[in-house]
Chains A and B, each alone.
Chain A
Amino acid sequence: MAEHPIAIEMRNVYKRFPNPGGGEVIAVNNVSLQIKDGEFFSLLGPSGCGKTTSLRMIAGFELPSEGEIHIRGKEMGQVAPFQRPVNTVFQQYALFPHMTIGENVGFGLEMKGVSRAEREKRVTEALEMVRLPGMEKRRPKQLSGGQQQRIALARALINKPEVLLLDEPLGALDLKLRKEMQLELKTLQREVGITFIYVTHDQEEALTMSDRIAVMNKGLSLQVGEPEEIYEKPANKFVADFIGETNFIEGMIAMQDGEIVEVDVIGTGLTHIISSRRFTKGQAVSLAVRPEKLRLNSPLENGNNLKGIAEEIIYIGTDTHYGVRFPGGQKVRVREQNITRAHKSLARTGDEVTVSFTTTAARILTE
C-alpha cells in the first residue's frame, strides 16, 4: 500500500478559464498540497472557491494551466482521465440510467477486461459493502437518492483506486441521511484504507469526517491542517469566519513584551493575548474569539474583562446566546452552556455585563 507515502501532490497548480466577458478567471491560484496515503482529506470552501476545479484536475477532466499534479509520485501531465488510478463519486452520482445497478457497478471492471463471472462476484461484494445486497437487477431510477449515492460509491470503490475523489457526494441528501452517510463514509474509508479527497462547502461535515482539511477561497488554499488546528488556530479572518462562528474584535497593538501582546480595543479597553508572533506597535489587528470561549459576568483574575451592554438574549435549549455591545460600538456574541436544569438568564437586556476571556482564548489575526 505505502509504496509512496504521498498519494496526491499538487505543485503550484493554476487553472485559468477564459471569462465570457473577456479576460480570464483564475479558478485555482497557485495551490500546492500534499495528501498523504490513506488520509481522509477535505477541500473546504464556499462555491466558486476552486475546490471542485482542483478535484477535476486530479481526476483529469481539466488540465492545469500551470503546475504539476502527481499521483503516487507520478506526474499526471496530459494523462487522460481513463488512464488515471483514481475514481470519482460525482455530485449527482452520474449513474448510467440505461444500465442495471449490476452493470453500473461492474462497469469499471468491464473496461479493465475482467471476466463476467469474476465481475459478478465482485459486484455482489461491492453491493454488500455499501449495504445494498441483491440490487443487481434494479435500475438507478428505482432507487432513492441515498441508495443511488451508495451505488455511486460502490461503482467507484470496486476498482480499488489509489485515491477516491468525492465531489459533494452528500449534497443532494436530506439532513438526517447526510449525518448517517457521513459516519458511514468515514467508517468505510477506514475499512478500505483508500485515500479519500472530499470536496464540500459544509464546514461541519469537513470537521466531522476529515483527517486534514484545506480551506480554500477565491482559488487560494488558505490553510491546511487537522480539524482542531483549523478551528482553534485559523490562519486568517476568512478561515476563522468560515469554520464555525467567530467574534472579531478590532483593535490596535499597544505593546508587545515577549509572548504577551497588549491589544487596545479602541473605546473598550486593553486586552492581553498570548502570541508567539511578532507585531509592530500601532498595527491594526483583529482578535478572533469563539463565542463559547467568552464568559458572561464571571470576571477572570488573570484574563481579559471587557464591559458592555447586553443587547439581546436568545435561549436555544443547550445554550443561551448573549449579544453584547461594547462602548466603542463593537458587538460580540457570548455562548453560555445551560449546564443546570434551573435555567436562569445571566443578564437581562440593557444590563451592563462583563465579557471575559483568557489570554489564550483569542487569536490575533492581521489579514
Chain B
Amino acid sequence: MLKFFRRFKSTQLFGLLSPGVLWILLFFNLPILIVVFISFVERGRAGGIKLPPVFTLENYVQLFNSCASEFSGADCNPFLYIGIFGHSVRIGLVVTFWCILLGYPLAYFISQRKPIWRDALMVLVIIPFWTNFLVRTYALKQVLATEGLLNSFLMGTGLFNQPLDLLFNELAVVIGLVYGYLPFAILPMYASIEKFDHTLMEAAADLGANPRRAFWRVMLPMTLPGVVAALVLVFVPVVGAFITPDIMGGGKVEMIGTLINRQFSTARNWPFGSSISLILMLLVLIGVIAYFRSGGEDAKRAL
C-alpha cells in the first residue's frame, strides 16, 4: 500500500513538473542545441545554412584566426575576433566596476533611511525598468549628443566654447551601460546591506577600528555576497550587450554582442554568429562556475 502510494506520489510529482520541464526543454534547451548544430555547418548564401547541411569546423577556426577566410587580404589581423572578445571583457569589467562603485554607497544610503523612505527610494531605482530599454538608451543619446542637453548646458554656462565629443566612442558606451545596468547592481547589494547588522560596526569601532578599517574588515566582507551577485548580474549581460554599444557607439565600438548581431543581420553568416554565441556562453559559464566555487567557500566561511 505504502509502496503504491509512493509510486503514486512520484507519478503525481512528475505530472505536476512536466509543464515546466517541457517548457524549458522546448524553449531553452532545444534552441541551444539548434545553435550548436548551426555552428558546425556551412553558411547559406542568403543567411541560414547550406542545405543539405555540410559539417565544418571553419566557424570556430575563423574565430581564433580571422585570416582563415579565403577573402582575407594580406594586411589581415588574425586576432581580430579575439581582440573583440578581450575588448568586450574589458568594457564589461570597467562597467561592472563603476556600477559597484556607484551602487554600493547608494544602496548603503537607502538602507539607512527610515522604512517609508527606503521603499520610496527603491521604487525610484526600479522605475527606469518600466520604460523600454531602447527608448532609454535613445534618450541618453539625446542628452550626450553634440547639440544635446548636456553640451547645450555646458556651452550655456560659458565654461566651454566648443561642444564635447561625448557620443560615438567607448566612453559613451560605458556611460550608457553603467546607466542601464546600475539598478542590477543596486538591488542585490541593497539586499545584502539591508540585512547587515550595524551593531557590528559599533563593535569594530569599540575595538579601535577607524571607520575605514571597520568597513574593509567587517562591513565589506559581510556584504560581499551582494557585491559578487551584482558583479555577475552586471558583467554577464554587459559582455554580451549589443543595443547600447550599437546606439551609443554609433558602430565605432565593436563588442561581441554587436559582432553576433551583425552575423545574423547584414553579414548573413548564421554559423559564425552561432559559434561566437557559444564561445561567449562558454566563457560566461566558466566565470559563473568560478564564482559559485568561490561563493560556496565564502558561504561556508560566513556560516
List A residues at the B interface (Cβ < 8 Å): 59-61, 80-83, 86-88, 90, 92, 94-98, 107-108, 111-112, 139, 141, 155-156, 159
Contact, CB under 8 Å: B205 / A94: no
Contact, CB under 8 Å: A59 / B221: no
Q: Is B232 engaged at the interface, CB distance under 8 Å to the other chain?
A: no
Could you say which of B203, B209, B210, B217 contacts A94, with CB atoms under 8 Å apart? B203
The answer for the CA separation of A319 and B38 in the assembled complex, in Å, is 92
Q: Which residues of B contact A86 (CB under 8 A)?
A: 206
In residues 158-207 of chain B, which contact A (Cβ within 8 Å)?
A: 197, 199-200, 202-207
Which chain A residue shows the least CB distance to B222?
A: A98
Could you say which of A87, A97, A112 contacts B206, with CB atoms under 8 Å apart? A87
B224: min CB distance to chain A, Å: 9
List B residues at the A interface (Cβ < 8 Å): 197, 199-200, 202-211, 213-214, 217-218, 221-222, 301-303
Q: Which residues of B contact A81 (CB under 8 A)?
A: 202, 205-206
The answer for the CA separation of A216 and B222 in the assembled complex, in Å, is 37
Q: Which residues of A contact B208 (CB under 8 A)?
A: 82-83, 108, 111-112, 159
**With known contacts A81-B206, A108-B207, A112-B208, A98–B199 Cβ distance under 8 A:** no
Contact, CB under 8 Å: B213 / A111: yes
Contact, CB under 8 Å: A96 / B218: yes
Q: How many residue pairs at the A-B interface have CB separations less than 8 Å?
A: 67
Contact, CB under 8 Å: A90 / B202: yes
Secondary structure class of chain A's binding surface, majority of residues: mixed
Interchain Cβ contacts under 8 Å between A and B, 29 examples: A60-B205, A61-B202, A80-B205, A80-B210, A81-B206, A82-B205, A82-B206, A82-B207, A82-B214, A87-B206, A88-B202, A88-B206, A94-B202, A96-B204, A96-B218, A96-B222, A97-B222, A98-B221, A98-B222, A98-B301, A107-B204, A108-B207, A108-B208, A111-B208, A111-B209, A139-B301, A139-B303, A155-B207, A159-B208
Contact, CB under 8 Å: B209 / A92: no
B142: min CB distance to chain A, Å: 43
Q: Which residues of A contact B218 (CB under 8 A)?
A: 96, 98
Q: Which residues of A contact B302 (CB under 8 A)?
A: 97-98
Contact, CB under 8 Å: A82 / B209: yes
Q: Which residues of B contact A87 (CB under 8 A)?
A: 206-207
A100: min CB distance to chain B, Å: 9
B218: min CB distance to chain A, Å: 6
Q: Which residues of A contact B221 (CB under 8 A)?
A: 98
